[in-house]
Structure 1
Amino acid sequence: MLQVHTAVSRVVEYLERTSGVQFPSSDTVLQGYLHFEALTEHDYQYSCVNCGDHPPVVIMDLHKKGAFHLSVSDLSPPPEDFNGEVDMQIFWEALSVERICNNFKGQQKHPFTVPPSFHFWAPWIGPKTCRSNHALNTEYKKVTEDRLTEELYKQKVQVVRNLCKECGLDPSGSRADLLLRLSSEMKSRQTYGGWAVIMCPCGIVYSIKCQIRAESPRDFADMLLSWKHMPNVIIDDFARGLATHMNLREPERLPFNPFEGRLSPPTPDNIAKAKDGKLKVSLPWLNCKKIIPDPEGHPITGSAEHYALYDRFHENNTKDPRDVLRKLHIVPQLAGKVNSQVAEQLFSRMKKNNYFLNMALPSTHLFLMRNIIHHHNMYRNEQRLGNIKRAFGNVTMNMHSQAVLGNLFIF
């Protein structure tokens, strides 16, 4: 579980030393545990008892150091008829079947192995949050190494030299030498991308996606566009890039609107007021649903407005002066009331698992990660329910009343 952060091998070694009893090998114990989890009928709801299945405010981030080793150059491109949609249920059931078959005695190889791929691997989104079993995964469309090399050719020699230093490569020699080293590094290095997560302000994870290639707004956009109801406020450390990517991708309906996801029109006067801390933009529907909901409005707020805002620790890491209109403190309903660092806090605990998760095979890594996050969500939900029950005199509530009551406590 997330709260323990201890590898099976260490537990087995400790038990053997303290009890004097010889246990099965740590690998056998791990496979037995995975077998048990695969056969257990877990309800991977990935939903908060406080925020319901469709939170109006979410925080997004990337757990960069939680990843498996993979040579991306070994992956084949998806079939020509691949439309970017993957079946989550089929994919995650296939991972469970692989876990089960791995434990059959003498069955070293079987036909149920799930290798990494661009067209079959799927994110996991709470079943009541996702619009259907089919979710988007368009990671294969990310910029390729060839495109990156082309962009590097346009850079000054000193820029390329500095990039070599950051990558641990020899920074000496001509431009051609430097580009050759970088190109070779991009094609041959063991590459992995980490985990993209979408969470509610309570710290419950709603969506996870294991990235194969480097971080990009595309991964978060894939998950958001797979949701049945897109949140009204999305807090991200690259808010402008996310809004730009999604609006270019869906120009007919512009997912981030009004003002391209900013809180007010980017006029010189508004920018100056925001810089001086004198601009306030109220979003009253965050506290009380609109009496007359907007067409296609969010089921909790009734609003069809969607904003991309920066988390508190990244709001100044931008050179675009218009991004001052994406700060949380501008909104009275959010200022000081939303912990925009819940993702960072989750990752600070998750990194304690990296020493054994990152050594696992790709499919084992994915299976374990979804399971660990499931237990994290269950633990946080139980804490929340305990607090609510104590506040209301231990009143017994069914799951529907929990969700309805919980929405009163979002902000």
Structure 2
Amino acid sequence: MESVIDGKTSPAYTRRCLGCNMIYRYQEWQDGLHSFDDHVLLSLELCLYLRHSLQNHISVSRAIDTLEGLRGVKYPNRDTILHGYCHFEALTDTDYIYSCVNCGYHPPEVIMDLHKKGVFSMSVSDLKEPPPEFRGEVDIEDFWKSVNLEMIGRGFVPSQTKNPFAVQPSYSRWAPWIGHKTRMDHTVLNTEFAKVTTAKVTSAEAQMMNVSEDRLVDELMKQKVGVVRKLCKACNIDSKGSRMDLISRLRAEMQNRQSYDKMFQKIWGASGVWSVILCPHGVVYSIKFNLRAESPRDFAHLLLSWKHIPNVSIYDFARGLATHGNLRVPTDIPFHPHEGRLAEPTPESISSAKQGKLKVSLPWLFEKTDNSSSKGHPITGSSEHYVLYDKLHESNTKDPQDVLRRISLVPELQGWLNSQIAEQFFASLRKNNYFLNNMAPSTHIFIMCNIVHHKNTSTNQKLLEVQLQRGHRPHGLENITLSDLGQAILAQQASDRETVQHHPHQLNQKDFGD
């Protein structure tokens, strides 16, 4: 496992063709070695050890420090080994499918949130305006192939500055990751350039900024008065007065997007954190590495890039998400009926919801409706799309109509749906911030995407084991296959793949029983 061959001071490792004597690159995995740059070779066992270390929140440098102390052997530069590991992962045939074995490729319910501490170093001034013809559409396959190519290219150049395949953050060429079975096609939405404006923001756009403002104010409250005073000076605001006076002035100035971005950068870092969509089981379906401050538009564009929008989307600023999504596609509004609320916002329904008397049943969450339309969700059959608040934030909203976006109104969501699953996911990933946040943007997103993939794989493995234990007859993982919708079924049911559908929150016992 500790094997690293450092040939920097010796001739490069190469192969020679016995027929024509041509010298070519040594890249023979069957020998148990991975050649990074013809000088540094890593054992495959070491590569797998580093993969598992990252899954356990141990950076590559710390893992190598441990091995170096244990073996008493000097290892190459830590950055070289990190690049060698990325080179290994880029050449590995990994299918980043990003889906849950219970929910399938198209989950009926999702939970969305952002990891505000997950950032990478980036100068906002380096972001150039996109070309005039750019309409916010990015080729996801092309972008991630270019990221992979950069990781591979590092094995052929002496330094990153000379890597012709280097990927730099760009408004017109920066894409999220969505599994190929979940997304509509290879073209996805990313309109972060539209966040940049010097004008005062009003109406619907101002409404959508409120959620980030609230988060930013919460963080400002935690800062020392010296930090707040410096922010006021940076935004050309009067820096005299009490701490609360300063924060009040900063909040008023947040309506100016440039000032808002300055504050965001100072408090949360240069990049705009991660936007993540998960199913109720904690499997990640989409991840977006924001270049600018987070907004409901980020989640709206992720969902609009999906083949099938979930019937229930849970987010801490549900109103902003529904507003932006419906403004984006006014001819075929995605969030309906009632703009994603559970009932018509009449005085009677609002009063009834506040008193806890209103219940809105969505029976198709458990059993597919017989009245499915061509636009219906493939698992539920319903074409209705609701946007609800998570339980932690449902009481924070000031709009009385938002009481109709509460999870507690839906009987079918009670007792099993954990709307805080995203927070639990981030609590785990937060342990990686000490090394992820110090990486270059391309390395950051590559490693993060890989870590999430393996975390998804582990979660799916546990889900399958739990489901198998519920059966009356013993079955092994080798008996499990996936239906056309990506849900786990027994192998003997494979002939009925097109018709087999499960309640996504648990596979029915009859599917694994007598």
TM-score by length of 2: 0.73
Q: Which shifted more, 226-235 or 10-19? A: 10-19
Are 1:399 and 2:482 matched, yes or no? yes
Distance in 1 between residues matched to 2:176 and 2:144, nearest whole Å:
9
Q: Secondary structure at the match of 1:333?
A: helix
Count of equivalent residues: 400
| C-alpha contact (below 8 Å) 1:123/1:208 kept by paired residues | yes
Gap change, CA 1:288 and 1:246, over 3 Å in 2: same
1:277 Cα offset (Å): 1.1
Counterparts of 2:304 and 2:150, CA distance in 1: 29
Paired position in structure 2 for 1:156: none
After superposition, the Cα gap between the structure-2 partners of 1:193 and 1:325, relative to the gap in structure 1 and judged at 3 Å, is same
Which residue does the alignment assign to 1:282? 361
In structure 2, the partner of 1:322 is: 401
Partner of 1:205: 284
What is residue 102 of structure 1 aligned with on the other side? 154
* 1:353 partnered with 2:413: no
AA at the equivalent of 2:430: K
Distance 1:285 1:111, change over 3 A: same
- State the Cα deviation string for residues 285-306 of structure 1 (Å, max 9, x = none): 1011011203411111111111
**Separation (CA, whole Å) in 1 of partners of 2:488 and 2:371:** 19
Identity %: 52
**Cα distance, 1:6–1:334 mapped onto 2, change above 3 Å:** same
CA distance in 1, matches of 2:100, 2:293: 29
- Larger Rg computed on CA atoms: 2
Residue 154 of structure 1 aligns with which residue? Answer: none
Aligned-residue offset at 1:186: 4.7
Please name the residue that 2:179 is paired with: 126
Instruction: Flag the 1:350–1:184 CA change in 2: closer, same or farther, 3 A.
Output: same
Counterpart amino acid of 1:334?
Answer: L
Q: Residue 228 of structure 2 is aligned with which of 165, 168, 173?
A: 168
Change (3 A) 1:101 1:404: closer
- Cα distance, 1:251 vs structure 2: 1.4
Which position in structure 2 is the counterpart of 1:265? Answer: 344
Moved more, 241-250 or 226-235: 241-250
Task: Give the AA of the match of 2:355.
Answer: D
Q: Residue 13 of structure 1: CA displacement? A: 1.3
- Which of the numbers 144, 147, 172 marks the counterpart of 2:197? 144
Cα shift readout 1:174-233 (whole Å, capped 9, x = no counterpart): x96439998689569662111101111011100110001111011111111100111100
Give the Cα–Cα distance (whole angstroms) in 1 for the partners of residues 157 and 342 of structure 2: 60
Partner-residue secondary structure (3-state), 2:104? coil
The separation in 2 between residues aligned to 1:352 and 1:40, in whole angstroms, is 26
Residue number among 68, 83, 96 corresponding to 1:44 in the alignment: 96
Q: What SS class does the counterpart of residue 140 from structure 1 fall into?
A: helix
Task: Give unpaired runs (5+ residues) of structure 2.
Answer: 1-51, 207-216, 240-248, 490-500, 507-514
CA distance in 2 between partners of 1:170 and 1:82 (Å) = 36
- 1:30 corresponds in structure 2 to 82
Residue pair 1:101, 1:107 contacting (<8 A) in 2 also: no
- Aligned Cα RMSD in Å? 2.7
On the 8 A contact 1:171/1:178 being kept in 2, the answer is no
C-alpha distance in structure 2 between counterparts of 1:98 and 1:288, whole Å? 46
Residue matched to 2:446:
367
**CA distance 1:341–1:178, change in 2 (3 Å):** same
Letter in 2 for 1:246: G
Matches of 2:428 and 2:232, distance apart in 1: 39
Q: Which moves more between the two structures, 263-272 or 395-404? A: 395-404
Q: Which residue of structure 2 lines up, in the alignment, with residue 214 of structure 1?
A: 293
Question: What does the per-residue CA deviation read over 1:84-120, in whole Å, with 9 as the maximum and x for residues that have no partner?
Answer: 1111111111111101111225355121110000011
Q: Does the aligned pair in 2 maintain the 1:16–1:23 contact within 8 Å? A: yes
Instruction: State the shift of 1:73 in Å.
Output: 2.1
2: CA distance between counterparts of 1:178 and 1:185?
Answer: 16
Give the distance between the partners of 2:259 and 2:430, measured in 1 at CA.
29
Write out aligned runs for 1:83-94 (5 A): 83-94=135-146
Q: Secondary structure of the equivalent of 2:388? A: strand
Counterpart in the other structure of 2:422: 343
Cα pair distance change 1:54/1:277, threshold 3 Å: same
Contact 1:246 1:255 survives alignment (8 Å) = yes
TM-score normalized with structure 1 length: 0.91
How far is 1:389 from its partner? 2.1
Contact 1:257–1:306, Cα closer than 8 Å, also in 2: yes
CA contact (8 A) 1:329 1:336 kept: no
The residue number in structure 1 matching 2:503 is 408
1:319–1:74: structure 2 CA closer, same or farther, 3 Å change rule?
same
Tell me the equivalent position of 1:252.
331
Write the deviation string for residues 347-371 of structure 1: whole angstroms up to 9, x where unpaired: 0000100000000000000101110
Q: Report which stretch shifted further, 396-405 or 302-311.
A: 396-405
Partner of 1:383: 462
Q: Are the equivalent residues in 1 in contact too, given 2:365–2:503 (CA < 8 A)?
A: no
Q: Aligned pair in 2 of structure 1 residues 253, 23: CA closer, same or farther (>3 Å)? A: same
Residue 383 of structure 1 and its aligned partner are, at CA, apart by 0.7
Shift, 1:29, TM fit: 1.4
1:375–1:247 CA distance, 2 compared to 1 (3 A): same
Letter in 2 for 1:119: S
Q: Is the 8 A contact 2:55 2:451 kept in 1?
A: no
> Residue 155 of structure 1 aligns with which residue?
none
| 1:365 alignment partner, SS class | helix
Partner SS state of residue 313, structure 2: strand
User: Offset of 1:283 from its aligned partner?
Assistant: 0.2
Q: Deviations over 1:307-361 (max 9, x none)?
A: 0001111111101111111110110000222111111111000010000000000
Cα distance in structure 1, aligned partners of 2:372 and 2:174 = 37
Q: 5+ unaligned residues in a row in structure 1: which ranges? A: 152-158
The alignment partner of 2:442 has SS state of helix
Q: 1:245 to 1:375 in 2, by over 3 A?
A: same
Aligned amino acid, residue 179 of structure 2: G
Q: Tell which deviates more after alignment, 103-112 or 229-238.
A: 103-112
The residue number in structure 1 matching 2:309 is 230
